Amino acid sequence: MSEPATILPAAKASTASLELVWQEDATALAFSRTDDGALSVEGLSFGLPSTVELPVAGGEVEVRRIDARELVRLAESPPRSLEPGDSARGLFALVAVARNAVAEGLVHPHLDHGDGWWYAFWGATLDESIQESLARIAAALPAVATSAFAGDARATVDDLYPVLVDQIARDRLRGSGVRLASPARRRASALELFLAGLTAAEAVLPRHSGYGALERRLSRWVDDGLGRLSAASWRLAFHLDERPAENGSPTLFLELWLQAEDDPTLALPAGLLWSGDGGVFSFLRASDPRRDLIRRLADLEPLLAEVGVTFEIAEPVELELDPDVAASFLRETMPRLEERGVPVLLPAAWLRAPSSLRIDLTATSRRSTRASGLLSPATLARFDWRLAIGDVALTDEELAELAAAKQPFIRVGGRWHALRESDVERALRFLERRRSPSETSGAGIVDLVRAVSGLETDEAGLELGAVTLDKPLSELLGDGERRFRSLPTPAGMRFDLFPFQERGHGWLRLLGDLGVGGILADDMGLGKTVQAIAMLVSEREE
């Protein structure tokens, strides 16, 4: 196919540039960057306002979030006030390749299933020219453009390009008024719904029981029609699978998979080679899957052996990992495999619902001999902050292990947890500050209220977990009259206080001991001045 004359045109000098970062949720983040590195949404009138955490910004930044349709339009008509930056030019180059591919008919109908729904897509047909173009664009992408995919430029391109092809093909058909299926007067078949879905605004299809059979027929038809039986080799991939065990604690298995070199979405378990089902490999590719598996596994054998991972030589399929080997593989070997371009897929349950970090708080009071029963305003309570995963609090040893790990994986409560690296970093910074001598020496009432209400953790971007207070602090912050007690007339006063004045006396002393102010709202003539005098006299007597 013909390709754009220039994949990545040189950027012109500009005081501000447009940057675009593709995300895993099929949206792109748009923002402007000035020459001094400042990020903002100035000059951007498209997309939805959003606040996200960007590694390039070192924290949260305001952006505009756009979908694939808006990205295609933006590539056609970028804002005049901003020169496209490297990330934007890379994404615009992908749009150009996708547009040319659709114009030359390098697309095919594709039926996909995920999250309980079926989807009608226009799949991207990859010929040699397109693959070369995508490889060049991936090599030119800046780090900021690949941040959502852990710095993997090829993964970024492989994720975005099919979305662009589908969007451009869908928009072109809809703009031309093309209908692939006639309106059904009866209950529509799976094929009719699928054809209608190819020109619909959204890819999701109505419920129907016939999609599975249709997908199998469609895949065979597409493969035969496109001559997909290429000679591309298979590359090795690893899948981690967490399975229930008899003792109740899940066991981690490392499975070998083979992934088509020219189509990362085409992957099959290596066990099919030895179970009598290996014919599926020869149906999809003309290369030798056994040879590719043995050769590529041999190349990685020294690296895997460093952490005790050794597969069976004759028919390698999978390996059960004990906790120590699993820890070494996740934290040490997996990053090195990814550097070599070897995919490692985590268990689906880890990706669907990453374990949440919580900060547990235990607050204990420091009793004094003051009349109110409380201590000085500055040292009311002592805090003990603990990091918890789910309902399990980490010990100091586990916390040190997590802090030293290169990857955010930890085994707690008999099972492995995959954590978000940003959450771990925030939690460790929070604990480091809160466990300093100045923070652990004592806290006042304001600190106590902020801590138990979750303000401290909210400001740090963390979730407050279990809060445990001892009895005095529980009574102080609880409901009812136990929070303070009436105090009798001081010895230095000649006349006795009335009962309501004794309550006011106790209330003022409590507030004074807590270090906060208060207002007596008694009616005129009921002795507010006398209560204030009683407070001053009793403080002097102590």
pLDDT the model gives residue 184: 58
Residue 520 in tokens: 């007596």
CA distance 11 to 93: 13
Tokens standing for residue 499? 């009962």
Kindly state the tokens that stand for 42: 């100035």
The whole-number pLDDT of residue 479 equals: 53
The predicted pLDDT at position 372 comes to 47
What pLDDT, on a 0 to 100 scale, did the predictor assign at position 10?
A: 55
- The pLDDT value given to residue 513: 66
Residue 211 CA to residue 113 CA, distance in Å, equals: 9
Strand, coil or helix: 203: coil
Strand partners, 362: 384, 468
Q: Can you give the pLDDT at residue 461?
A: 84
Q: Where are the domains of the chain?
A: 16-226, 234-343, 357-477, 484-541
Start-to-end C-alpha separation, the chain: 93
E-strand ranges in 378-449 read 381-389, 392-393, 409-412, 415-418
Max Cα distance, the chain (Å): 107
| pLDDT in single tens digits along all 542 residues of the chain | 445 444 555 555 547 899 999 999 899 999 998 888 888 888 888 999 999 888 777 788 899 999 999 999 999 999 988 999 999 999 999 999 999 988 877 888 889 888 889 999 999 988 888 999 999 999 999 999 999 998 899 999 999 999 999 999 999 888 877 777 666 556 788 888 998 899 898 999 999 998 888 888 888 777 665 555 566 789 999 999 888 777 667 888 999 999 888 777 778 888 888 876 666 676 567 778 888 999 999 999 999 999 999 998 888 989 998 888 988 888 889 889 988 889 888 887 776 655 678 888 888 887 554 544 444 445 578 888 888 887 778 877 777 777 776 667 777 766 777 777 778 888 888 888 887 655 555 677 778 878 887 888 888 888 888 888 888 777 777 654 545 678 888 888 888 888 888 888 887 887 776 666 677 776 777 788 888 888 888 888 87
Q: Are strands 392-393 and 409-412 parallel, antiparallel or unpaired?
A: unpaired
Its pTM stands at 0.43
Q: Quick one: three-class SS letters along 219-241? A: HHHHHHHHCCCECCCEEEEEEEE
Give residue 447's pLDDT: 81
Which three-class secondary structure state does DSSP give residue 362?
Answer: strand
Instruction: Tell how strand 415-418 and strand 409-412 pair up.
Output: antiparallel
Say if CB 410 and CB 419 are below 8 A apart.
yes
Predicted local confidence at residue 362, as pLDDT = 87
- CA distances 41 to 61, 69, 73, 168, Å, are 9, 20, 18, 26
In the prediction, which pLDDT does 5 show? 44
pLDDT (0 to 100) of residue 438:
54
Cα 471 from Cα 424, distance rounded (Å): 32
CA distance 153 to 341: 11
Report the chain's C-alpha Rg in angstroms.
32
DSSP assigned state of 333: I
Distance CA 77, CA 458 (A): 40
Q: What is the C-alpha separation between 508 and 484, in angstroms, rounded?
A: 10
Helix (H, G, I), strand (E, B) or coil at 2: coil
Is the distance from CB of 327 to CB of 286 less than 8 angstroms? Answer: no
> Would you state the pLDDT for residue 164?
96
Distances (CA, A) of 69 to 32, 111, 164, 222, 432: 20, 20, 8, 26, 45
Question: Which amino acid would we find at residue 281?
Answer: F
Torsion angle of C-alpha atoms 35, 36, 37, 40, degrees rounded to 10? -80
Which residue has tokens 């374990």?
Answer: 355
